[in-house]
Amino acid sequence: MDEETNGTDQTAGGLSQEIQDQVQGLEREVQRAVIGQIRVIREVIVGLLAAGHVLVEGVPGLGKTLLVRALAAAVGGHFSRVQFTPDLMPSDISGHVMFDMKRDAFRVRKGPVFCNFLLADEINRAPAKTQSALLEVMQEQQVTIEGNSYPLQLPFLVLATQNPIEQEGTYPLPQAQLDRFLLKVFIDYPAQEEEQALVQHVTNGAVGDQLDISQVQTLLQPDQVLNLQRAAAGLRVDEQIVAYAVRIVRTARDWSGVEVGPGPRGSISLLRAARAHALLAGNNFVTPDDVKGVATAVLRHRMKLATDLEIEGYRPDDVLADILVNVDAPRV
């Protein structure tokens, strides 16, 4: 299955210099504000280029908000943040209609979801109704208020966070809703050198604990991001690569100890993310390394392990590591 390349952005031999500069520049700009966490930054940009949403799991204070704000600043998009709480209503996210006394008419008050980059902080603290409202917006990319549909401005990226340690009073996302996220990214504590550089960078001349994204320059406009997304979607994918992605997903589905495996949406997401990964790597075609590089982030939240494995302390990442070792790479 060979797909035609996007003729406007790509040359016959590889990606155009402009696209390469934009992609690499975007990564570089975000790294100006977020010290370390290179893998996380890369995976979030993969999510952006693949026009997918990202679920980030990590303890508080690791720079999730800073990451999204830096990304928004580098792209020149509008950023919103919603702190999910048990009493949050769907209309608090999507918006609502209110009566304007001055004008004697109803007026639509758009919610924080009308933005380019939405940080849904601690998404599992809101009840299922509110969660599903957001996930519907993520899927449809439009909001319906009082029967009227309002399209969202593209690009639209939701970066939802979860705290893995405090599970009391939370509403864990159901498997079907987790499937809507393109990637699940683990954000971990930075290494010693990274943390040292981060502390020095953040505290240098800073008053209070405001997030400093002043160093991030606006490199791209939302339209250019859309072009990059189109470029990623148009990358060449050999038939062997598709077969490899499907093989990984099917193996994960049938793997011993996996109660519920990823569905066909998992295969689709894997290929979408692999295209974005290839674009980020500066290739105009997808290689097995691109597929393998994103497989864990794409599939880890689409797998439910059997109880005995969970009791033994296995995580989906461990099982996926085994699967990737056991699935043969493409043979041309």
Partner 1 sequence: MELDRIAVIVRPRTSWEAVDLGFAMARSWFVPLWLLWLALALPVYLLSALFFADQPSWAILIVWWCKPVYEPLLLFWLSRALFADRIGARTLIRQAFSVIRPQLIANLTWRRFNPNRSFNMPVTVLEKLKGKARKKRIAVLSRGQQASTWLTIVGLVFELILQLSFIFLIIVMLPEELRWLDLDGFLFNPGPLEQWLQHLGDLLAMSLIAPFYVAAGFSLYLTRRTDLEAWDIEIAFRRLIGRKHGGRQTRRVGLSGRAIILLLCGTLLSAGYTSDLQAAAMEAAEAKTVIDQVLADEAFGQRKQVTYWKYIGAKDEAPGAPEDLPWLVKWILEVLEGFTQGFAAFGKALLLIVAGVLLTWLLYKAWANREYLVIRQPPTARQRQRPARLFGLPLDAGSLPADIAGECRSLLQQGDVRGGLSLLYRGVLMALLEHDRLEIPDSATEGECIERVRAVCPEDQSAYFVRLTGLWIGAAYGHQAPDERQVSGLCGEWERLFGRVTDGAE
Q: How far is the CB of 283 from partner 1 (least distance, A)?
A: 7
For partner 1, the closer CB: 135 or 237: 237
264-281 and 288-299 helices cross at what angle (nearest 10)?
130
Counting contacts by CB under 8 A, is residue 283 touching partner 1?
Answer: yes
CB atoms within 10 A of CB 239: 10
Q: How far is the CB of 307 from partner 1 (least distance, A)?
A: 24
Counting contacts by CB under 8 A, is residue 15 touching partner 1?
Answer: no
Counting contacts by CB under 8 A, is residue 7 touching partner 1?
Answer: no
Q: How far is the CB of 17 from partner 1 (least distance, A)?
A: 17
Q: How far is the CB of 279 from partner 1 (least distance, A)?
A: 13
38-49 and 17-33 helices cross at what angle (nearest 10)?
130
Q: How far is the CB of 48 from partner 1 (least distance, A)?
A: 23
Scanning 22-30, 46-54, 116-124, 285-293 for contacts with partner 1 by CB under 8 A, the matching segment is 285-293
C-alpha separations of 279 from 24, 208, 250, 299 in Å: 10, 38, 25, 20
- 3-class secondary structure, 299: helix
Task: Determine which residue in the list 269, 284, 299, 320 makes contact with partner 1, applying CB under 8 A.
Answer: 284
Counting contacts by CB under 8 A, is residue 17 touching partner 1?
Answer: no
For partner 1, the closer CB: 41 or 291: 291
Distance in angstroms (rounded) separating the CA atoms of residues 280 and 247:
24
Number of residues that bind partner 1 (CB under 8 A): 24
Given a contact cutoff of 8 angstroms between Cβ atoms, the answer to whether 44 and 54 are in contact is yes
Distance in angstroms (rounded) separating the CA atoms of residues 182 and 266:
8
C-alpha separations of 88 from 13, 73, 130, 153, 176 in Å: 51, 27, 7, 23, 21
N residues, the chain: 332
Counting contacts by CB under 8 A, is residue 238 touching partner 1?
Answer: yes
Binding mask 208-237 for partner 1 (x = CB under 8 A): ----------------------------x-
Q: Which residues bind partner 1 (CB under 8 A)?
A: 2, 12-13, 236, 238, 240-241, 283-289, 292, 324-332
